[in-house]
Structure 1
Amino acid sequence: MDIRSLQVFLSVADTLNFSRSSEQLHLSVSAVSRSVQRLEEAVGRTLLERDKRSVRLTPAGRDFRNYARRAVDDWLQIRRQLAGGAQLAGEVSLYCSVTATYSILAPVLEAFRASQPGVEIQLHTGDPADGIDKLLSGQHDVAVTGRPPTLNPRLSYLQLQESPMLFCMPAADCAVRRLVLEGDSSSPDFDWERLPFIVPERGATRDMLDDWFAATGLHPRIYAQVAGHEAIVAMVGLGLGIGIAPELVVRASGLGERVSPVPVWQPLPALGIGLCAPRKTLADPLVRAFWDVAANTLPRAV
């Protein structure tokens, strides 16, 4: 059994969902299933009980999960030892959104390539809301994420930028825009419940929006729950509802002319954006080198 197989098992053990793990790992569901089956054959015990509705760890699976975590940690430790005293070489697995790739990381990647030519960055893109789960399951070394309201004690966070959060409506004349403009959205008495909302499926900005709904006593009419702010901006631009997105994403999306900001009486807090990594992974010289380059390249938000 190899480290990658153990990482696949740890992902399923954390998500208890083969489909979600396949998305996180960029593998097919059948490939994830085969990897787990091979582990079960090697161990000689059933590790996961699965039926059409659920996946559960067996007692043997819980014991094996502890072993798998130790094995992955030991592998990271030996990689650190072998790298000590030598020119850094190897790879760092980095997870981020498409927007973050060119809006935030471009100068960091350029500086890192110049300072560490022997280290390759394996870049994986997706919804930043998945970044924390991917780190905790051992799939990636570093992720670009929104600042979590509560940081898992197993993780470290380095803030790089801060972006205002915008409420957006369609810029073109349509039913949704007319509903917004019928009243004064900056007034505490504005009737938000008439409007269809396009909201993030999960993540730091969904938590932020749910807190805003609770604080304003609003019971929103949810039109759609979407993975990724780029998709929210696109759907708002099509006239399907109003949504929220970091100003950074609106500017970088290429769709900024299709949406207009909606003034609100109680604005959302700004979104901190930064690097996140498991504390143990930061002891790896390769990961620490990337972390330090990022800290010294961008003017960080406080």
Structure 2
Amino acid sequence: MDFRSLQLFKHLATSLHFGDTAEAMYVSPSTLSRVIQRLEDELGCTLFKRDNRKVALTHSGHKLLSFSTQALKDWQQLKADLKEDTEALQGEISLFCSVTASQSHLPAILRQFRQQHPGVDIRLITGDPALSIEKIKQKQCDLAIAIHTPDLPTDLYFSPLDNVPLVLIAPREWRLTQLAQINWTQHQVIMPEHGPTRRIAYHWFAEHGVRPNVYASVGGNEAIVSMVALECGIGFVPKVVLDHSSMASLVTQIAVEDIEPYALGLCCLQDKQQEPLIDAFLKLDFIPRG
């Protein structure tokens, strides 16, 4: 028994006419008769009642019709699935992001990507977000969750994901709740060593005529939260970092309405933008957190 024999049988079981089935299935009537005889010999039963006037299915024929219908349907589905597997994206793509972004934004991105492209392996690299642009430039990763800056190199492509506000935090024990309570000559400030938070914070200080009394410069926004929680000073951090910090309960947020947020997005080299794996990532319908 083979699928071609089942196709011929199924058509005949529907048409109940040897001539019509032979014409429709592009076989001779004698070939069709031999196929049906071979099926009957193999199964050890009669599939059709035949006389000079009509053809009818036997009880055994009805059972084989049910079987052949499902078998042929499964066969077609299998072929479609195998074709889809062959055409599906395959390979590996490397992605760089901060530990915070791997918790806040990456899960939703990867969930969509894995659903659409299960054959692609993802290599995740985490580190200081200030290094994301350099990682892309040095081709140490294919994509990065990065922060847009005014001096973003022209050979990079940036696809926005979300706007991330900055918040000013102070040690909870200091009981500072309003901006007016801060004495900028006395309250020391924890600053990042580099990156967009440093740029935005210094821009805000300049606009308000403030010369910050810097206690320390640290690597990474997470370190700022830790230093503030340990009562070393106050500092600006991205709200998403504070939301995912285990030390958030030890600091107080102070409202600062006029400090600019920064744009978070997927970044890659311009000349790699159309590569299939990178293009698939950039086409994800990601919904910003809010």
Report what 1:185 is aligned to. Answer: 179
Counterpart position of 1:281:
272
1:270 paired residue number:
261
Gaps of 5+ in 2: 1-85
Equivalent in the alignment of 1:146: 147
What secondary structure is seen at the aligned counterpart in 2 of 1:193? coil
Name the SS of the counterpart of 1:276 in structure 2: strand
SS at match of 1:283: coil
Cα distance, 1:107–1:263 mapped onto 2, change above 3 Å: closer
How far did 1:300 drift?
A: 7.6
Measure, in 2, the Cα distance between the counterparts of 1:239 and 1:283: 48
- What corresponds to 2:106 in structure 1? 105
Question: What amino acid does structure 2 have at the position aligned with 1:166?
Answer: V
1:166 Cα deviation (Å)? 0.4
Give the one of 208, 214, 217 matched to 1:225. 217
Contact persistence 1:97–1:128 (CA under 8 A)? yes
Which residue pairs with 1:121 in the alignment? 122
TM-score by length of 2: 0.66
- Name the larger-Rg structure: 2
1: CA distance, partners of 2:243 / 2:280: 30
Superposed CA offset, 1:42-100 (max 9, x none): xxxxxxxxxxxxxxxxxxxxxxxxxxxxxxxxxxxxxxxxxxx9432111111001110
Please say if 1:133 is aligned against 2:134.
yes
Residue 297 in 1 paired to residue 270 in 2?
no
Unpaired segments ≥5 residues, structure 1 = 1-84
Give the Cα–Cα distance (whole angstroms) in 2 for the partners of residues 129 and 205 of structure 1.
9
Give runs of aligned pairs for residues 1-302 of structure 1, distance below 5 A.
86-171=87-172, 173=173, 177=174, 180=176, 185-186=179-180, 191-264=183-256, 267-293=258-284, 296-299=285-288
Shift of 1:255: 2.0
Kept after mapping to 2: 8 A contact 1:149/1:204: no
Distance 2:107 2:90 in 1: 21
User: TM-score, normalising length from structure 1?
Assistant: 0.63
Distance in 2 between the 1:234 and 1:146 partners? Answer: 22
1:147 is displaced (CA, Å) by: 2.1
**1:138, 1:250 → 2: CA distance?**
30
Preserved CA contact (<8 Å) 2:161 2:286: no
Q: Taking structure 1 as reference, are residues 279 and 300 closer, same or farther at Cα in structure 2, changes over 3 Å only?
A: farther
Distance 1:93 1:258 in 2: 35
Structure 2 counterpart of 1:89, one-letter code: Q
Q: Report the secondary structure of 1:206's partner residue.
A: helix
Cα deviation code 1:96-116 (max 9, x no counterpart) = 011101210101101111111
* 8 Å Cα contact 2:189/2:214 also seen in 1: yes
Residues 168, 253 of structure 2: 8 Å contact kept = yes
The answer to whether the 8 Å contact 2:189/2:212 transfers is yes
Alignment RMSD: 2.0
Give deviations 1:212-261, integer Å, cap 9, x for gaps.
12222222121111121111111111111101111111111122211101
For residues 195 and 145 of structure 1, the distance between their equivalents in structure 2, rounded to whole angstroms, comes to 31
Pick closer, same or farther for the CA change 1:115–1:170 going to 2, 3 Å. same
Aligned pairs, how many? 205
- Provide, for residues 163-216 of structure 1, a one-character-per-residue CA deviation record: whole Å limited to 9, x for no partner: 221000011x2xxx26x57xx6238xx531211111111111111111112222
Partner of 2:273: helix, strand, or coil?
Answer: helix
Quickly say closer, same or farther: Cα 1:255–1:105, change in 2 above 3 A. Answer: same
Does structure 2 conserve the Cα–Cα contact (< 8 Å) formed by 1:156 and 1:276?
A: yes
Name the SS for the 1:151 alignment partner: coil
Is the contact made by 1:99 and 1:249 (CA closer than 8 Å) also made in structure 2?
yes
Alpha carbons 1:199, 1:206 under 8 Å: kept: yes
Partner of 2:169, secondary structure, is strand
